[in-house]
Amino acid sequence: MLQKSTSFPGVAGPVVVVVMDGYGLPRNDTGSAIAAAVKPNLDRLFAECPHIRLRAHGTAVGMPSDDDMGNSEVGHNAIGAGQVYAQGAALVANAIASGAIWQGEGWRQIVAGCGSGTLHFIGLFSDGNVHSHIDHLKAMVAQAKAEGLKRVRIHALLDGRDVPETSALDYVLPFEAFLAEISDAGFDARIASGGGRQNITMDRYEANWAMVEKGWQTHVLGEGPQFASAGEAVQALRERHPGTIDQDLPPFVIGEGGKPVGTIEDGDAVVFYNFRGDRAIEITRAFEEAGFDKFDRVRAPKVAYAGMLQYDGDLKLPARFLVAPPAIANTLSEWLSRSGVAQYACSETQKFGHVTYFWNGNRSNRFDGETWEEVTSDVVPFEQRPWMKAAEIADAMIAAVKSGKYRFLRCNFANGDMVGHTGNFRAATMAVEAVDLALGRLLAAIDAAGGVALITADHGNADEMFELDKKTGQPARNKDGSFKAKTAHTLNPVPLILFGKAAGGFALQQRETAGLANLAATAANLLGFEKHASWDESLLTQR
């Protein structure tokens, strides 16, 4: 059990953590959908409540460097763990740099399992370093040749979300040149298929299995429009679908003489090279799950399959992986459970795993005393429904607060992130406004219950909707004069606001190193506990 605080017995009501996904604090308001939004509740909070800035990117969340943006996975890991762990990007980069990955059992089994067949790589094709990094792929292709493998095929999921929205050719063309250079009479490496990450393969939380089915048809069966090269495919698909950004481009197949060059067959090996788990689990299940029934696979080739990391430690998905994931221990949920604190977690499908699985240290099972409630997301483009399920999440949270059953509650409003990723400025302002409206209702219920709220974000997104010119700081423009949309996360800090009459005797301490991992100890203090010894320090201070 956590030790009881000797200086504060805890607030009488519940302690609630509200994550406004994608809500950063920009250096200026240029291109900020948050600044442009009408948000009276948030304006009031910043005017009247204690608030500070938290670091939510780079080394503060376990990424390799402070040039790396944060993301929802590592952000919720840090909040829930109360401490910083080296995350997927850093783990993989270190394993490649040291050569340890090539000696690992996972890679050795992939090489052996490939035999005389083809080694396939499937994953996000960019250097965004959120789900994957193209340099990791390049290193594996080079190692495959060094180990005497004869044939490699790559199934490239175009990004345009963690990198500029129409940057696909900046990755495809140099990589095709690299493959041409490394190929010779004894080694044949090519891109075999691809498509936009929001169109095929990379669904998460079972929101849209049709995406995964489309990916299976493209990568495994080789079904789809054929082109001579990936570069040609991207250019042609842009012409056929004007205005479509990379993440939404339809699938394509590379063919010769009318036949696909890289279907996945019995005796092949497959590496899904994303290190982040949420958008890797469903395609992994399609390759590995006995009795898989989410869609008709037509055929299920017998392959040696590996993930870059193990994406779900509880479900052991996948069974084979190249780099061990961080072993996250002593999470806030675990220790609140041990201390007899009833907990409640809620979000819509798009971020449900973040307030449950990632929050709990990459565990898919509940701790004792935890209640999880999922609000089903709509399967529509986010810019067409920017309010998403903010109202329904607020309804569920208000009911949970009023029930009196829970001492600690948490929720995620996905709007700022999911709509921010579309690059649609007006939709993003509406997304922020929807969260503001929901927040106003929820906070009133928390205050009435004698509780307090810690309002924060996991990373920025809606705070910068345009690419900024590095020299002028003003929005960069396309050739036609329109602003260049920014669809990636930002490097900006995020807020931490302390709300509630019950917290009247407390303030928040701004520290240079304050980050998301400080939230666990802060929440524990408000509940009347001392922090766990492994957690970062609390930011709570008495007025």
- φ and ψ of 21, to 5 deg: -60, 130
d(CA 357, CA 184): 45
Neighbouring-strand partners of residue 271: 121, 306
Q: Which two tokens stand for residue 361?
A: 């240290």
Known catalytic residues? 72
Please compute Rg for the chain using Cα positions. Answer: 23
d(CA 53, CA 70): 15
Concatenate the DSSP letters of all residues of 28-69 into one string: S-TT-HHHHS--HHHHHHHHHS-EEEEB-SGGGGT-SSTTS-
Q: Which two tokens stand for residue 276?
A: 């982040």
Longest dimension (CA), the chain: 77
d(CA 25, CA 493): 6
Count CA atoms within 13 Å of residue 239 on its CB side. Answer: 6
Please name which of 221, 215, 199 lies closest in space to residue 298, comparing C-alpha atoms.
221
Residues 6+ apart with CB under 8 A from 80: 331, 332, 333, 358, 359, 360, 361, 520
CB 161 within 8 A of CB 248: no
- At residue 338's C-alpha, the angle toward residues 361 and 536, to 5°, is 50
- Angle (deg, nearest 10), helices 88-98 and 134-146: 30
What kind and span of H or E run contains 211? helix 209-219
Environment class of 440 (CB within 10 Å of its CB; exposed 0-12, middle 13-18, buried 19+): middle
Burial per residue of 50-79, b for 16 or more beta-carbon CB atoms within 10 angstroms, e otherwise = bbbbbbbbbebbbbbeeebbbbbbbbbbbb
